[in-house]
Chain A
Amino acid sequence: MRVHFKTSYEQDIRFFEDRWTLFLYASLVILAFALPYLIDDFYLGEMTNVLIWAVAGLGLMLLTGHTGQASLGHAAFLAMGCYAYHILVKYGVTFIIAFPLAGIITGGLGMIIAIPALRLRGIYLAIATMAMSILVDDIIVLTAPWSGGVSGMFSDPLNLYWIQIDRWGTPVAFYYVVLIVIVLVTIGYANILRSPTGRSFVAVRDSEVSAQAMGVDIARTKMLSFALSCGVTGLAGALMGMFSGVFNNETFSVVISVQLLMMIVIGGLGSIHGAFFGAIVIGFLPQFLSISKGWVGDMIGGSAVAIPGLEFGVFGMILIAFILFEPAGIYGRWIKIRTWLELFPFYRKGMFKRQKSFLKTERLQ
């Protein structure tokens, strides 16, 4: 069992709680950088995919998990980032500039879109944002001269000074690009969370009334959250485009939006870890299903059968199971297991029981 003795205020604002946590995360990052030497190109490609989804998950987590604004339209921002980046590159802008610029453009668009959405909450907001996904599909078709419309667009290898990087030709280099992006995004995210901006997001999520009474401007806070969230999602979109190599108006459909939202719910809303856990589930589920389909096929003596929509169905079932049995997601479950281990043998059964909260009859709206 670890006990923290706090000797200075520095300790609470530190990036890592203590040496042990620092050691853990440092090992994880080292492992991530060593990964290309440990696994083959196929699995490295899968890992790259997981990390790209995690970037998108971080984007949505900021808005939904930390600011409490549900969005079913984030595929639209993936698309915006993807097209912004690739169109910039087509006009000769280099990766180092085009990539962040794609994020900034998407963030700006997200902030503008947030303005009409400010009055909406919960399910209504989710439905309104869903319309975004559909709208973007049409816009891509209408702007075919630049976007390639229905016939799509190819992603050229990215030029980084002396080397050309693309997912098939240089999978290791592409993996490192994605890894560096996600490390930077995660650091920025964690910094936001330990600063006034992050606290204002959480305040808006938990109680708009008292956030206001503390001097938090609700509209501006939500707009900033949309901007940052969409910006990060745009970066993920650009990476997704590079990863898939070719994309068109249907690549970023509403289904992707739904999948993204499910992913952060399963991973655990309101934590950075949740985005990563969710991405691992999303990324490896198809593999896991095809393997288990093989087993089932062997068991019943027939060949593996193709079941359309199986992946999505299983995903939906996992989601329902989480909402029923572990609303705090994989990260929430992990915290419980960790606490159990740390406190062993002093863990009390009711420790994480959700307390019934008192009446909130007179809540102001």
Chain B
Amino acid sequence: MSLLEFENVTLKFGGVIAVNDLSFNVEEGEVFALVGPNGAGKSTAFNLISRFYEPSAGRIQFDGHDLLAHKPSEVAALGVARTFQNNELFDHSTVLQNLLIGRHRHRQTNFLAEIFFSPNVRKQELQNRHMVEEIIDFLDLQPYRDKMIAGLPYGVRKVVELARALATGPKILMLDEPASGLSVEETADMRWWIDDIRRQMGITVLMVEHDMGLVSSVCDRVLALANGAKLAEGTPEQVQTNPAVVEAYLGGAA
């Protein structure tokens, strides 16, 4: 059984068919990419998994659970973490606080214990700090730990979003255009991190990315989309040389 299964999923926004009878499987431990021209429905596929939208048809299974039976706030608890195409950080908090919110799904205490800051709350907070600190080390965020998000450069914010997603301790990590807007060096860092996340942490990665260089260097399999439907699926080379894909990109550009 695959970790994530899309079965004939369709989503319409009024007249626009954003996702059209789409099926694909993501296997445990792989790095899987969704590619396609602008408006192909890649981010919409992510938002379906996050349960922000209700599909008009189809099934989505994650790790043996029927995702469609869950509320958006329950998806994280199943082990799904994500970043957003246009950073969605908690702007008026520090980097540290943002990462700590990532630990929310592991929370054991209730608000009454927290009002009194009971020993259990203290223990849990120390544990959270410990986990978060490891991620800060891993992603070299030490210089920004106590900085407000609102004052950080774009590239750093992207890393903070990745860090926050990792802090949830996910089974699958969904990255929506992790390298967009990053410099060449930052993109190279991102490549190493994605590699490490898969190899050292054993986390499955599902990503949307336009940078085909990055895609071919870190991804095992690629799914090309256009107008919400599948064009091709396979290794990065297979997909890049697929005539239908070439056509979609050139057709989109012309």
- List chain A positions with a Cβ less than 8 A from chain B: 9-10, 12-13, 15, 188, 191-192, 194-200, 202-203, 205-207, 209-218, 224, 228, 270, 354-355, 357-364
Q: Mark B132-176, 1 if CB is under 8 A from A, else 0.
A: 010000000000000000110010000000001000100000000
Q: Is B204 part of the binding interface, using a Cβ–Cβ cutoff of 8 Å?
A: no
Residue of chain B at shortest CB distance from A209 = B88
The 10 nearest A-B residue pairs measured at CB: A215-B76, A195-B114, A215-B105, A206-B90, A9-B129, A210-B88, A217-B73, A191-B117, A197-B111, A188-B115
A355-B151, A364-B52 as given contacts; A207 in contact with B105, CB under 8 Å: no
A228, B112: Cα distance in complex, Å: 11
Q: Is B190 part of the binding interface, using a Cβ–Cβ cutoff of 8 Å?
A: no
Q: Is B102 part of the binding interface, using a Cβ–Cβ cutoff of 8 Å?
A: yes
CB distance from A143 to the nearest CB of B (A): 31
A13, B73: Cα distance in complex, Å: 26
Query: Chain B residues with Cβ under 8 A from A195's Cβ?
Result: 109, 111, 114, 117, 121, 125
Q: Is B37 part of the binding interface, using a Cβ–Cβ cutoff of 8 Å?
A: no
A214, B86: Cα distance in complex, Å: 16
CB distance from A212 to the nearest CB of B (A): 4
Q: Name the one of B92, B114, B150, B154 contacting A192, with C-beta atoms under 8 angstroms.
A: B114
A209-B88, A362-B86, A364-B52 as given contacts; A215 in contact with B111, CB under 8 Å: no
Query: Chain A residues with Cβ under 8 A from B75's Cβ?
Result: 213, 215
A196-B107, A358-B86, A362-B86 as given contacts; A214 in contact with B101, CB under 8 Å: yes
Residue of chain A at shortest CB distance from B151 = A355
A363, B86: Cα distance in complex, Å: 7
Query: Chain A residues with Cβ under 8 A from B10's Cβ?
Result: none
Interface stretch, picked from B59-67, B77-85, B213-221, B243-251, is B77-85
Known: A191-B121, A192-B114, A206-B89. 11 other contacts (CB 8 A): A194-B125, A196-B103, A196-B109, A203-B101, A210-B88, A213-B76, A213-B84, A214-B105, A214-B168, A215-B73, A358-B154
Instruction: Assess whether B88 is in contact with A207, with CB atoms less than 8 Å apart.
Output: yes
Q: Is B122 part of the binding interface, using a Cβ–Cβ cutoff of 8 Å?
A: yes
Q: Is B199 part of the binding interface, using a Cβ–Cβ cutoff of 8 Å?
A: no
Instruction: Assess whether A199 is in contact with B101, with CB atoms less than 8 Å apart.
Output: yes
A339, B124: Cα distance in complex, Å: 32
A–B complex contacts, Cβ < 8 Å, 18 sampled: A9-B129, A9-B130, A12-B96, A13-B129, A188-B116, A194-B125, A195-B109, A196-B107, A196-B124, A206-B90, A209-B88, A210-B164, A211-B101, A214-B105, A215-B76, A358-B86, A362-B85, A363-B86
- The tally of CB-CB contacts under 8 A between chains A and B is 129
A214-B105, A214-B164 as given contacts; A224 in contact with B86, CB under 8 Å: no
Instruction: Assess whether B109 is in contact with A215, with CB atoms less than 8 Å apart.
Output: no
Query: Chain A residues with Cβ under 8 A from B103's Cβ?
Result: 196
Instruction: Assess whether B104 is in contact with A210, with CB atoms less than 8 Å apart.
Output: no
A196-B104, A355-B150 as given contacts; A191 in contact with B73, CB under 8 Å: no
Instruction: Assess whether A200 is in contact with B84, with CB atoms less than 8 Å apart.
Output: no
A224, B117: Cα distance in complex, Å: 17
Q: Name the one of A192, A194, A200, A361 contacting B101, with C-beta atoms under 8 angstroms.
A: A200
CB distance from A65 to the nearest CB of B (A): 10
Residue of chain B at shortest CB distance from A360 = B86
A9-B133, A195-B114 as given contacts; A214 in contact with B104, CB under 8 Å: yes
Q: Is B54 part of the binding interface, using a Cβ–Cβ cutoff of 8 Å?
A: no
Instruction: Assess whether A207 is in contact with B126, with CB atoms less than 8 Å apart.
Output: no
Most A C-beta atoms less than 10 A away, residue of B72, B103, B130: B72
